[in-house]
Each structure stands twice: as C-alpha cells, then as structure tokens.
C-alpha cells in the first residue's frame, strides 16, 4: 500500500459484522478521513445483507475467504469472538491484507505471538482495538502525568465491579466461556485497563495475583486481586469483581504532588487533586468510540501517522493477563 500522503482511501472489509460494529466501531471506518467501508461478512448471509443495507456498504459475504479474496478490500477488521482471532488474522495475512483485530487480541499470548509472526512474514501490519489509547480522556491523563501535574507517579489503584445478572445457561454468553474468550470478564474488560496502564505507566515488570470463581455462575473467573510493578517504578493493585451488587469503575494514580482519578469504562472526566485544590478535566468520548484509534490506523496505513495500539503492545497486555490467570488456569 502506498505511503504517499495523497494515497487512495483505505478500503475496509469487516469479518464478523455483529453488535460491536453497529455503533462502537463500524461507523468509524466510514467517518475516518481517508477510509471507506466497502464489504462486511457474517456467517448468516441474511444478517450480513441487512447490515450492508442499513449502513450503506456496497458488498456483503457469508464466507470469510470470499471477503479476503475481494480485490476491492485493502484491509480487514476482525470483529469476531476471540477464539477465531488467530485463525482469521493468519488467513488475512496470507491474503496480504493488513489487520485491525478486536480486543483481546487472542485468548492467550501464545496465540498473539503466532499472529504477529504471520503478519511479519507476510509483510502486513497488525493493529489491535485497544481504543482507549486514542481516547481524549486517557490522552489527557497521559499529558497530566507528563507535565508533572501530580509530581512523580508512585502508585495506581484499580477498582472494577460489575453485577453479573442472571446468565442464560444454554449456553452462557461467550464472554464468560473460557474456551471462546480465554477467560471471563477480567479478560474481556480487565485487559482494557491493563493495556491503558501500559501506555500511561510503562510495561508491567512483575505480577502477583489471587483469582477465584466465587459465585459459580459460569466456568470463568469472577474475582481477581492482583498487584503489579511497572517499568516506570510505579507500584499498583487491582481488584476486579464480577459477582457483586454495586457497579464501580475507578482508576487512581497517586503522585508526589497530587492524584488523578478517572473511569476506565464510563464516559467521564478526569479529577485532578493537588495542593491547589480539585478540578475536573472534561474529555468526552466520541459517539463512535473507536473513531480516534481507527483514524490512527488509517493514517498509519496511508503513511501519514502512527498508531498507538499495535500487535506488539497488545502482546504485552496478553502476557500480563496470562500471568494473572496462570495459577487459576492450572487449577481448572
């Protein structure tokens, strides 16, 4: 693909045009500068045709290889559940198509390594939809850390709580089926937080954890307590609870001159607490929440910018998730 700034638009195909693509990601490929959404695929052809009609997409398929063989498709977005990410990425790489794959990148770090190797061998780039790396709220946190607003960062605390509700039993949602998701909601949601902390505080250098399934509602873990050290020297702890009544979503970074508090999942402001008082930094999400990252991917493919979420950065997150869950997986 040309790297000249005036290169033709990147023409995208979506593999797995399901719920996540309706608002969070799909429209971003139509709204980003230099980008077009030209084809979608679902195994259910009627649903693929309906998606194409509703979103004004020229072509639809019920077979992944047919979309990959379409000469009008320059790059693909893999939006299927995690158990197919590795296989579809390898097939896309073999077809010579750059890949933007949903998070988590795959079920395990080993699968991620295979994806990276295949894309490297094919000479195509691999990007991962850890879109918080490009959202205004987290860029604001990054800038506040960089400009010394809270002095030198010392600790980080993560609290994520979410009621599970009553899962259907035949079968339960794929997000709590380890054979599909690689684990439970910690893998699906907790990986987002771990990935953005990699961006803000540097790679994780040490992990200790306690993991359990306390509620017994499904096969995956529902409670995770972990401690981390980061390359920056920051120490952190996290508690993820998915069998409780109250929802909670807060990340707190404390430094020598102040504290930053912000949500990871809810759209909200950054609270800055220093000796001068407390203030709020407003940084709302765009309606198509993946648009800033999709724009970065398009810019990288067209040679006009770089993307902050790559296969390499997502592999680091996958390795941290593996380290947290290692003991629990061994017991299961």
Sign for the CA dihedral angle at 41, 43, 45, 51 comes to: negative
Residues 78-111: pLDDT tens digits? Answer: 999 999 999 999 999 999 999 999 999 999 999 9
pLDDT of residue 242 exceeding 90, the answer is: yes
* pLDDT value, residue 164: 74
Map out the domains of the chain with their CATH numbers: 10-132 (3.40.50.720), 136-284 (3.30.360.10)
Residues 123-146: pLDDT tens digits? Answer: 999 999 999 999 999 999 999 999
- Predicted confidence band at 114 (pLDDT cuts at 50, 70, 90)? very high
* pLDDT value, residue 7: 77
> If you average pLDDT over residues 233-248, what whole number do you get?
96
- Predicted confidence band at 3 (pLDDT cuts at 50, 70, 90)? very low
> If you average pLDDT over residues 137-165, what whole number do you get?
95
- Predicted confidence band at 2 (pLDDT cuts at 50, 70, 90)? very low
Sign for the CA dihedral angle at 145, 146, 150, 152 comes to: positive
How far, in Å, CA of 41 to CA of 59, rounded? 9
pLDDT of residue 190 exceeding 50, the answer is: yes
> Which residues in the chain belong to E strands, given as ranges?
10-15, 35-41, 59-61, 75-78, 99-101, 126-128, 153-161, 204-212, 223-230, 235-241, 248-255, 258-262, 270-274, 277-281
pLDDT of residue 1 exceeding 60, the answer is: no
Q: Which of 32-46, 47-61, 169-183 has the lowest mean pLDDT?
A: 169-183
> If you average pLDDT over residues 279-289, what whole number do you get?
96
- Predicted confidence band at 168 (pLDDT cuts at 50, 70, 90)? low
pLDDT of residue 264 exceeding 80, the answer is: yes
Nearest alpha-carbon partner for 158 in 209, 111, 194? 194
pLDDT of residue 169 exceeding 80, the answer is: no
pLDDT of residue 49 exceeding 80, the answer is: yes
pLDDT of residue 5 exceeding 70, the answer is: no
């Amino acid at each position: 693909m040309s790297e000249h700034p005036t290169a033709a638009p990147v023409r995208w195909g979506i593999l797995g045009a399901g719920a996540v693509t309706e608002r969070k990601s799909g429209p971003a490929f139509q709204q980003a500068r230099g980008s077009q959404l030209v084809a979608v695929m679902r195994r259910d052809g009627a649903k693929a045709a309906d998606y194409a009609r509703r979103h004004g997409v020229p072509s639809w398929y019920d077979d992944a290889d047919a979309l990959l063989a379409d000469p009008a498709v320059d790059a693909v977005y893999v939006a299927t559940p995690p158990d197919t990410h590795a296989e579809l990425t390898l097939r896309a790489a073999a077809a010579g198509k750059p890949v933007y794959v949903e998070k988590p990148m795959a079920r395990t770090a080993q699968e991620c390594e295979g994806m990276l190797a295949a894309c490297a061998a094919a000479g195509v780039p691999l990007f991962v939809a850890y879109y918080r790396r490009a959202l205004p709220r987290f860029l604001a946190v990054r800038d506040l850390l960089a400009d010394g607003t809270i002095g030198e960062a010392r600790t980080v605390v993560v609290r994520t709580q979410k009621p599970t509700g009553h899962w259907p039993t035949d079968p339960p949602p794929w997000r709590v089926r380890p054979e599909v998701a690689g684990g439970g909601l910690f893998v699906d949601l907790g990986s987002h937080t771990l990935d953005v902390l990699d961006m803000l505080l540097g790679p994780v250098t040490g992990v200790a954890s306690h993991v359990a399934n306390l509620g017994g509602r499904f096969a995956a873990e529902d409670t995770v307590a972990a401690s981390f050290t980061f390359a920056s020297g920051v120490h952190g702890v996290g508690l993820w609870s998915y069998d409780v009544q109250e929802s909670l979503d807060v990340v707190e970074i404390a430094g020598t001159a102040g504290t930053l508090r912000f949500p990871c999942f809810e759209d909200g402001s950054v609270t800055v607490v220093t000796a001068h008082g407390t203030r709020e930094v407003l940084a709302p999400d765009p309606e198509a929440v993946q648009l800033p990252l999709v724009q970065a991917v398009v810019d990288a493919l067209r040679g006009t910018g770089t993307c902050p979420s790559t296969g390499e950065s997502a592999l680091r997150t996958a390795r941290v998730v593996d380290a947290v869950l290692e003991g629990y997986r061994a017991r299961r």
